[in-house]
Amino acid sequence: MRSERAYVADLYARLDADRARVKGAFTAALRGTGGTVMERDQEVRARHKEMKRLEVADDGLCFGRLDSLDGETHYIGRIGIFDEERDFEPVLLDWRAPSSRPFYTATGANAEGMRRRRQFHTNRRTLVDFTDEVFGRPDADERGDAALLAAVNAPRGEGMRDIVATIQAEQDAIIRLEHPGVLVIEGGPGTGKTVVALHRVAYLLYTQRERMERHGVLVVGPNPAFLNHIGRVLPSLGESDVVFMTAGDFVPGMKVTAEDPADAARLKGSLKMLDVLAAAVADRQRLPEEPIAIGLKDITVHINSETAEWARQEARDTGLPHNEARATFVEIVTYVLTERAIARIGKGWLSREDKQGWEDMRSGLLKDLAEDERFLSAMDELWPVLTPRSLLSSLLSSADRLAAAGGDPALLREDGEAWTVSDVPLLDELHDLLGRDKITDMTRERAALEERKAEAAYAEAVLDSMTNRQDHMDDEDHLFATDLLQAEDLAFRFEEHDTRTLAERATADRDWTYRHVVVDEAQELSEMDWRVLMRRCPGRSFTVVGDLAQRRTAAGAVTWADMLDPYVKDRWVYRSLTVNYRTPAEIMAVAARVLAEFAPDVQAPESVRANGVQPWARRVSEAELPAAIEEFAAAEAVLDGTSVVIGPPGVPGTVPASETKGLEFDSVLVVAPERILADGPRGAAELYVALTRATQRLGVLHHGPLPEALSSLQPVG
């Protein structure tokens, strides 16, 4: 034990030395004046990223050791540390390095050349204890080691923890899978599919950093609570070039404020909406019912339906998005009007040979049209500049426009701007159908440029102020050096270049593309959602995580092939996780009976442990329910860990099961399971989700008779 403690202490000493070195390099990069602005910025970013990588390793820097049969010893940890004095020999192997793999995969049956695996138990920087597993023993059990059981039995805190110290063999095989396309990871509750996907991202960033880090990785989750829950896993593994979003965040600046009825959500998720959206755009490319008179000085010309129809067809034939094709429409109409006007104005006195006269007249007419309010109004009426939000809002709030586009009446709503999650893929599709409004883009760019200039001027003023202070301060004033450094950094960051982080740039840019995308709870995504995701990742590199048995939305996946074959028919592979590391066997037995009722062909995952605590059920009246919930909360408050009360929508003091997907709690109280089951066709899946959130304790409160699937619960009270 003493020698191991000394080794771990030495690793922390090396870590501190590396931190001091990198911090010095970062400070020097901030104060540097050589090279271009871009080169200085790249240097600052690189040093800052290295600092962040080293910051994550304080807790559990080294968590194990491997001893091989040929006498080699390797220590395994969160990051790699090397001895510069011994030709950069590794003194700590990064868990993602190929040499570290036997730490997770060696078993008694297949020791992979290893003699012993030692797992460290630490408290911050201090090694408290360790456990050894000597391979080759007759009773070796790869799924029952003490480190794993300690991890799964530990109370849950805020946020998901990484599993880097206890990755199991079936999980490691998926994490390190070398597949360039789409990997589908399916597993029941508690199988660790989410955390495996996140560790796979860390592994890909480690092995393919140069290819992936410039554009980053996108992680898509079902709701903000889930993203907050998993948000610390990748930073704890030293990875920061990751963007977290829900399906409602794909359109920058849009806020979801409403929820669609089930029928509307199903319709919006179907690819049939592509025809509806295209027809809605075409419907705004109008022909005049009556000729539109345009007065030009001494003559009046008309935009009739024949002229507009020719211009419309020419514009559509360009294949350009609506807003960009408008220029062709305006050009054709302008050509017709000027030719007619010239023929009438010049009749009898302007010869065809007088080319200059014709050009002068044409130039004057073009100028007049460009300034004519009636002409400009006619162009806006016949081929308006449209935004995705204005078009979709007017479509969904107008029965006439919806009917003209071939949309189902179930899509109609009173408030067109009551945005829902299901609207997001429609808005994203309209971005491509409509194209950019160049005038608006130019206005935004001009405003952004002025803002950057103002910020740069402010930074320069701060720096001048700090420099002036130097004349009035003693050399021993230590505050000046810090203040001056901050001012120099401020001035540098406001020079005319983009200083935002990758995540900030990506979330603000609808056209940003990623090198890899992780999609969690993917069974809930519709066909239209998948179109959005495929746009975000042209390379089609995905880790897809889900469980078809837990699908609650009618627009979601029935099979993975339905969603993936149209894009990556021969480039997706399927892997399953079968061991439940979260839910005790006592609780999983109850959940498995619910699963069998609505998905009899699906095998429930096998729990890795039993905890001896029997789940219970208690019948209460409506009047007794609030007190029963308070009693549960009070009892849990004196225990370690987390708890939640799950119930059907509208029950005070509860949260819907859909808001707990992907989360885990030490203790769960499920309220009114009979109402959850009765709440729509996917009620059984909702109840299954609710029952499998618990890692230790499960209770049920019910009003009516207990559903048959829950009859094995121990009755109390």
Binding residues for ATP: 187-194
Other C-beta atoms lying within 10 Å of the C-beta of residue 554: 17
Q: For residue 708, give both structure tokens.
A: 């048959």
Q: For residue 120, give both structure tokens.
A: 């460290």
Q: Which residues line the annotated binding site?
A: 187-194
Using CA atoms, how far apart are residues 433 and 467, in angstroms rounded to an integer? 53
Give the Å distances, CA to CA, from 634 to 135, 620, 631.
Answer: 46, 18, 5
Q: Please spell the DSSP secondary structure of 573-601, one letter per residue.
A: EEEEE-EESSS-HHHHHHHHHHHHHH-TT
536 alpha-carbon distance from chain centroid: 11
Q: Write the burial class of residue 712 (CB in 10 Å: 0-12 exposed, 13-18 middle, 19+ buried).
A: middle
Nearest to 670 by CA among 55, 651, 681: 651
Other C-beta atoms lying within 10 Å of the C-beta of residue 717: 11
Using CA atoms, how far apart are residues 679 and 503, in angstroms rounded to an integer? 39
Using CA atoms, how far apart are residues 199 and 185, in angstroms rounded to an integer? 13
CB of 27 closer than 8 Å to CB of 485 = yes
Radius of gyration of the chain, Cα coordinates, nearest whole angstrom: 32
If you ran DSSP here, which 8-state letter would residue 647 be given? -
CB of 236 closer than 8 Å to CB of 95 = no
Phi, psi (deg, nearest 5) at residue 525: -80, 140
Give the Å distances, CA to CA, from 248 to 175, 215, 251.
Answer: 28, 21, 7
Using CA atoms, how far apart are residues 45 and 39, in angstroms rounded to an integer? 10
Residues 6+ apart with CB under 8 A from 290: none
Using CA atoms, how far apart are residues 619 and 304, in angstroms rounded to an integer? 75
CB of 647 closer than 8 Å to CB of 620 = no
Phi, psi (deg, nearest 5) at residue 440: -65, -40
Crossing angle for the helix pair 273-283 and 388-396, to the nearest 10 degrees: 100
The helix/strand/coil state of 676 is helix
